[in-house]
Amino acid sequence: MNQDIQQYPFETFPTTTPAERNRVLRNTYWLLALSMVPTVLGAWIGVSSGFSRALTPGIGLIVFLVGAFGFMYAIEKTKNSAAGVPMLLGFTFFMGLMLSRLVGSVLGLTNGANLIMTAFAGTGGIFFGMAMLSSVIKRDLGSMGKFLFIGMMLLLVAGIANIFLQSSALMITLSVLAIGIFSAFILYDLKRVQDGEETNYISATLGVYLSLYNVFQSLLALLGIFGSRDD
């Protein structure tokens, strides 16, 4: 054993057992499913109350960025305490509230309810596909993280710019890219849990939730654009 350590001084070994990894993955799936409840509730309240329509694009962007990053900071600080799960669920309610502007716009179309269900089914299909792939793929995906992060930041900057540009062509392009990037993020985050690199199920749930949120939002935006053209 000592000889092996001396021969491979920079090799790292998993510090968690398969049972512990399975527990984190199982808790992640359960919390992820639970997080859908406040998200739907937030979206419903936002549509019913007209909350999102009351905000101008600029003010809405500020509220979203301050709220989202504030919640994510609080979740990171409380992830090892009893407050972690309620904080995460509060965040998902807020994200549902901020999603209500897009949901309300799509619901205004003649086939809006069908488009929302299609986006939901598509997001579910992507999630189950990435979950299955993460369980069978053997190679280390650690190198993906850097490139995915860069892609996410470029999407964020371009998305903020398009709030003011209001370009349908750019929105379509960004939505397609977002679906690809955040689908890969789902695979990456789930693989980290299965490899024992992520041992906190609240952090794992947060990462996968954000990816699912962006995939759903992008699919719904695409369906809304093309659905409105069909009317």
DSSP string, 57-124: HHHHHHHHHHHHHHHHHHHHHHTTSTTHHHHHHHHHHHHHHHHHHHHHHHHTSTTHHHHHHHHHHHHH
Assigned token pair, 221: 């935006």
The pLDDT value recorded for residue 38 is 97
Residue 191 identity (one-letter amino acid): K
Phi-psi region of 140 (alpha: psi -120 to 50; beta: other; left: phi over 0): beta
C-alpha–C-alpha distance, residues 175 and 123, integer Å: 13
Q: Which structure tokens are listed for 94?
A: 């807020």
HSE, side-chain direction, 13 A CA sphere, residue 188: 19
Rounded CA separation 115/181 (Å): 22
Q: How far is CA 39 from the centre of its chain?
A: 12
What phi and psi values does residue 190 have, to the nearest 5 degrees?
-65, -35
pLDDT tens by residue, 19-65: 888 999 999 999 999 999 999 999 999 998 887 677 777 788 888 88
Q: How far apart are CA 4 and CA 17, in angstroms?
A: 20
**What is the per-residue pLDDT across 115-164, written as a single tens digit (0 to 9) for each?**
999 999 999 999 999 999 988 888 878 788 889 999 999 998 998 888 78
Tens digit of each residue's pLDDT (9 = 90 or more) over 59-96? 888 888 899 999 999 999 999 999 999 999 999 999 99
